[in-house]
Structure 1
Amino acid sequence: MPNIDIAPRTFFSRLALAGMACAVMVPIAACNNRQNRSEAPMNASTQAAEAAAPQRKLNNHPTKAYEIRVKLANAPGAFETIDGAAQFDVENPGECGNVDPVIGAIPRITSNEPIALKKVSDTEYAGVIYLDQIVDEDYFGRAVCRWGLAEARVVLKATNDPANTRFIFGLPAEKVIAGGQETRYFWSGYYPRAKMDAFRDLGDADMEKVPADKRGEFFSMTLSAKEIAS
């Protein structure tokens, strides 16, 4: 395993090691289903997301619109790369999907649709997703596949350099639909990169483990959603 850049302080180790192990050894979804319920790369480009997408049809006239906002506080520097994706999963793959001839089971059907995030201030970005972005249809000749939003997520990088740290945060579908929000805290020491190239930082939901005099070394990312007219 490459040498991982972690601070020598014990509390940094406790906060970071679990996330590092998950990012290195297993899919993120197995570690924290609030962050990533998809096996696709979280910072995939639009072209890559489309290439990896399963058989699905996009709705030309979606109506169920939600605005997603990303707000930063105490950021250690600029983020030139801010990508967003709305992950959709088929809710009834067992009814409508095809059996994989290799594993003899019906795999999960999931798709990541890009979110175009625009800068609205020095610390805030916004984009729109549609709950009905993918058409429910009989794609495999078995039954109608019902698509549902799993989460809206973002990944921030200091620059487009692939070695830079990826700061990753996702808002689950239930929070999106309820017009809710969540805040996650990230250690600024991983900006712009850790010694481990392309390190994925999932952040932490609270600061309880961090001594009060060290909390200034963290920045926060808040994701919020609200329903808007389409």
Structure 2
Amino acid sequence: MKPNAPLAVLALVAMAAMLTGCSNAVMDPKYERNPNPRQKYVVTAKIDGAPGPFKGASVNIRYKVGPSQECMPDAEPISGHSPTPDSFDIKPSVHRASETEYRFDVYLDAMASKDYFGKGICTWVIDYAALTLRPTGAPDEYSLAAFMSHAEIETELPISMYWQRKLYGTSRPHPQPVSESALKREEFAKYRDPDLSDTISVTLQAKELRP
């Protein structure tokens, strides 16, 4: 017996409607920037051991709803996940002080704390601030990235990390863009090499600009 096509179509429509009705997703929450941020830090990045200068530098700061996410929509009842984004990226400009020193600004309060979903005030923390360096600017080369957390920015202590020097200007084995993340001393010794003599180091340090 042939399947009843109209009934099958109706069943699919009903299932889609049921899933849509059960969905808690808010695909576009329209997060807002704080129009008057005050908690400003200047991050200085000092590079040592690079075989040459860097052609380009960029910064991405990811802000995440937190420390509590109770203000966010509930997870999907079926999958347990929600496609509602809980983060927002800001790309500040980078000042090149020299071939080995860069600076950029970070605001802890760059995002507006408000009730975006009708469930209470959403506050924000920095998930990470990432400096990415491009050695020669070639489209197929590895870029070198260094990350700071919210806590590391607030402590204002210098943080030293390392890349393998051989990655400078090295082409990727595949076309997808790839960044090599700098590792702290203990991580580099564990995952790369305990000898730091053949590395490029980057030292990041944040300083608050107090009024």
TM over 0.5: yes
Task: Quickly name the TM-score band, shorter chain normalised.
Answer: 0.7 to 0.9
- CA change 1:69–1:110 in 2 (3 A) is same
Partner of 1:202: 181
Q: Is the 8 A contact 1:54 1:110 kept in 2?
A: no
The partner residue of 1:138 within 115, 123, 139 is 115
Partner of 1:228: 209
Q: What RMSD over aligned residues (CA atoms) do the two structures have, in Å? A: 2.5
The structural deviation recorded for 1:94 is 4.0
TM-score, structure 2 length as denominator? 0.73
- CA change 1:141–1:108 in 2 (3 A) is same
User: How many residues get paired?
Assistant: 177
Which letter does structure 1 place at the counterpart of 2:167?
Y
Separation (CA, whole Å) in 2 of partners of 1:156 and 1:173: 21
Which letter does structure 2 place at the counterpart of 1:76?
P
The answer as to 2:46 corresponding to 1:67 is: no
Deviation readout 1:79-107 (Å, 9 max, x if unpaired): 11211122211016642222455734345
Partner of 2:79: 103
Q: Is the 8 A contact 1:54 1:109 kept in 2?
A: no
The structural deviation recorded for 1:208 is 4.5
The structural deviation recorded for 1:187 is 1.2
The structural deviation recorded for 1:165 is 0.5
Separation (CA, whole Å) in 2 of partners of 1:150 and 1:75: 28
Separation (CA, whole Å) in 2 of partners of 1:88 and 1:73: 29
1:16-165 counterparts in 2 under 5 A? 55-91=30-66, 94-99=69-74, 101=76, 103-106=79-82, 109-165=86-142
- CA change 1:153–1:211 in 2 (3 A) is closer
Q: Is the 8 A contact 1:119 1:126 kept in 2?
A: yes
Partner of 1:178: 155
**Structure 2 stretches of 5 or more lacking a match?**
1-26
Separation (CA, whole Å) in 2 of partners of 1:103 and 1:161: 41
Partner of 2:10: none
Separation (CA, whole Å) in 2 of partners of 1:53 and 1:127: 29
Separation (CA, whole Å) in 2 of partners of 1:104 and 1:122: 48
Separation (CA, whole Å) in 2 of partners of 1:186 and 1:153: 14
The structural deviation recorded for 1:181 is 2.1
User: 1:177 is paired with a residue of what secondary structure?
Assistant: helix
Partner of 1:191: 168
Q: Is the 8 A contact 1:137 1:146 kept in 2?
A: yes
Deviation readout 1:53-99 (Å, 9 max, x if unpaired): 96311112111000011110011222112111222110166422224
Separation (CA, whole Å) in 2 of partners of 1:53 and 1:124: 38
**Structure 1 stretches of 5 or more lacking a match?**
1-51
- Structure index of larger Rg: 2
